[in-house]
Amino acid sequence: MCTPEQVDKELHDLMRAHHNTMKQYFQSHGLFNGQPPMMFHIAENPGLTQKELARRMHITPASAAISLRRMETEGLVRREVDKQDARLHRLWLTEKGRRLDTECRAL
């Protein structure tokens, strides 16, 4: 019979192994920490604004902009100025981004 401390340690080790495996997988696809959740939010809410993405992720708009710029450079995200309000940037996954999103969700 396992003690609560043993279960705790085993769970911690499992979570760490999962985290490291996922980190390596995401990095091999050009993603940095925090970017996979961004990709998931955009996939689930096409046309989401940059400001709304930052609010949903509890990060600053400036932090979102930095990650989005990287993702745009990698060809994963497309930003477009809103047709009704030029101050807003709407976000969509590119074809490459949609493929990666599908792969990641299948893991």
List the chain pLDDT tens, one digit each, 107 residues: 789 899 899 999 999 998 888 888 888 877 887 888 999 999 999 999 999 999 999 999 999 999 999 999 999 999 999 999 998 989 999 999 999 898 888 87
Element (H, E) at 80: strand 77-81
User: What angle, 0 to 180 degrees and rounded to 10, lies between the N-to-C axes of helices 4-28 and 35-44?
Assistant: 80
DSSP-derived 3-state class of residue 92: strand
The whole-number pLDDT of residue 104 equals 82
The whole-number pLDDT of residue 33 equals 79
DSSP per-residue codes, 5-17: HHHHHHHHHHHHH
Edge to edge, the sheet with strand 48-49 lists 48-49, 89-93, 77-81
The whole-number pLDDT of residue 51 equals 92
Partners of residue 62 on adjacent β-strands: none
Amino acid occupying residue 48: L
The whole-number pLDDT of residue 62 equals 93
pTM: 0.78
Other beta carbons less than 10 A from residue 70's beta carbon: 15
The whole-number pLDDT of residue 98 equals 94
The whole-number pLDDT of residue 78 equals 96
